[in-house]
Amino acid sequence: MKKLSIFFKKGMTKIKNILIQINPKRLTIIVLAFLFILVIGLSFFKKSSINEFYDASALVADYSSSSISSAYNTPLYTLIKQDYEVRNVIETDEVKTMLVGDMAGQAIDENDSEYGEAVQQYNQLKGTSGHVFLMDSTHPVGFQNKSTETGLYYLAIDYYEIEDTIDNTQISIKVNGESLFYESQTLVMPSKWVLSTTEFTLDRYENEIQPSSIKVKDWYNQPISDYKGMHTGLFAFELSFDDVVTIEYVNGQLLIGQVYYVVEEEIPSYASYLSSHGSAGVVDDEIVIAARNMSYRNDASIRLRPEQDPSNLYYNTQFLRLNVIFGDSWQNSG
C-alpha cells in the first residue's frame, strides 16, 4: 500500500511538472479540445426520444384572458367573442340558403351584355334560372334574417370576381347598418391564380423567367372567416329576427349569388383521425411534385425562385432554374 502511494505521488509530480512547462494558452486549447472530443464521442451513445406532447388546440380558441388595445374604432372580434361567452349567446346551428329572390341589390341576369355568361354559368351550377347581384361601390347586397332564433350565425357567400387586379378583393358585412366587429369591415374573398404557361422562357444569360399570372374567374363559395388565420374557425354574427344583413364593397367588384347559414365544421384531432383509419394501409410510394407544378396560388405575389441544390427537380449546374417557392412571398395559406 505504501509503495502504491509513493508511485501515485511520483506520477502526480511528473504530470504537474509537465503542465507547468506547457504554455497556458496551449494548455487551454488542449483542455477545450479534450472536452470537445469527449462531447462528440458521448453524443454517439446518447439515446433519447420525446413521445409526449402538449395539445394546445384548446388554447387556440381561448379568448378568456386576451387583452386588446382600445385604439380601434370598432371592437375587435376577440372582444366580441368574449362578450358572446359572458352573455352566453349560443350557436344556432341553423343551415339555410338565402335565395337571390329573397335578397336585394343590383340584379344582373343572363341577358346582360357584360356579365350574362357568368350568370348563365351560375344558374347551370345551381340548377336555377334566376339572376345574381352586382356588388360595387354604389350597390350593396342585402337580406333580412327571417330565422326566429336569436343567436350566432355563420355565413357563406357565392361570389364571382370580375376584376383582374392583383389586389385582394374585400367586402364588409354589416348588421342593421353597423359593423359588429373590426375584422368584418375588411373580409378577403380569396382569388385563384395560375401561371399563363407551363413553358419557362430564358433570358439572355440562359436563366429561367417566371411566366405572368392569370386570375381564374369562376364561381366560388366562401365561408366567412379570418383570412390571416388569427382566429380559428368562422366568424360568428349575432342575429335576431328581421335583422338586415348587408354585404358592401371595399375593394374589387363582385357578382354575388346565394348566401348561406352554415355550421362550423369540427376538425378531429390527429389521434382521432388515426383511430378512425386504423385499418388503412400505409403508402410507401415516394411522391415528388415540383414547385412549378403547383395547381394554383391564392396570391399573384407568390413566386418561384432558383435554388442551387442538386436534390431539387429542374436543377442545372450552370444556369438558374426556378425550382422552389420563394418563402418570403408565402405569407398566407392557400
pLDDT by residue (tens digit) across 174-183? Answer: 999 999 999 9
**Averaged over 213-220, what is the pLDDT?**
96
CB 171 within 8 Å of CB 255: no
User: With DSSP H G I counted as helix, E B as strand and the rest as coil, what are the percentages for the chain, rounded to 5?
Assistant: 25, 25, 50
Residues 6+ apart with CB under 8 A from 242: 144, 145, 146
CA-CA-CA-CA torsion for 145, 147, 151, 153, nearest 10 degrees? -60
Q: Which helix (H) or strand (E) holds 266?
A: none
In this structure, are residues 132 and 102 in contact, taking their beta carbons and an 8 Å threshold?
no
pTM above 0.95, yes or no: no
* pLDDT for 239 beyond 60: yes
CA neighbor of 169 nearest in space, from 181, 160, 178, 179: 160
Tens of pLDDT along 56-75?
666 666 666 555 556 667 89
Q: In this predicted model, what pLDDT tens digit does every residue of 162-175 receive, in sequence order?
A: 999 988 999 999 99
The SS3 of residue 121 is helix
Task: With CA atoms as reference, report the closest residue to 175 among 146, 149, 150, 142.
Answer: 142
100: left (phi over 0), alpha (psi -120 to 50) or beta: alpha
Q: Buried b / exposed e across 216-244, counting CB within 10 Å, b at 16+?
A: ebebbebebbebeeebeebbbbbbeeebe
Give tens-digit pLDDT for 3-55: 666 666 666 676 666 666 666 777 677 778 878 787 777 776 666 666 666 66
pLDDT at 46: 61
User: What whole-number distance in Å separates Cα of residue 245 and Cα of residue 289?
Assistant: 44
Domain at 73-262, CATH homologous superfamily: Galactose-binding domain-like (2.60.120.260)
Strands (E), 87-218: 96-98, 103-104, 106-108, 132-135, 141-144, 151-161, 169-175, 187-189, 193-195, 213-215
Q: Report the alpha-carbon distance of residue 229 to residue 159 in Å, rounded.
A: 21
The DSSP call for residue 241 is T
The pLDDT value given to residue 334? 45
The span from the CA of 36 to the CA of 231, in Å, is: 47
What is the rounded average pLDDT of the residues 94-115? Answer: 96
- The percent of residues above 90 in pLDDT, for the chain, comes to 59
Residue 228 has pLDDT above 90, yes or no: no
Out of 19-28, 102-111, 188-197, 210-219, least confident range: 19-28
pLDDT at 251 over 80: yes
- For residue 2 the three cell numbers come to 505504501
Give the integer Cα–Cα distance in Å for 312 and 192. Answer: 26
Top-confidence residue, 23 or 228: 228
pLDDT at 234 over 90: yes
Nearest to 77 by CA among 249, 186, 239, 236: 236
Helix (H) or strand (E) holding 220: strand 219-223
The CA-based diameter of the chain, rounded to the nearest angstrom, is 115
- State mean pLDDT over 210-220: 96
Residue 89: Cβ-neighbour burial (10 angstroms; 0-12, 13-18, 19+): middle
pLDDT at 262: 98
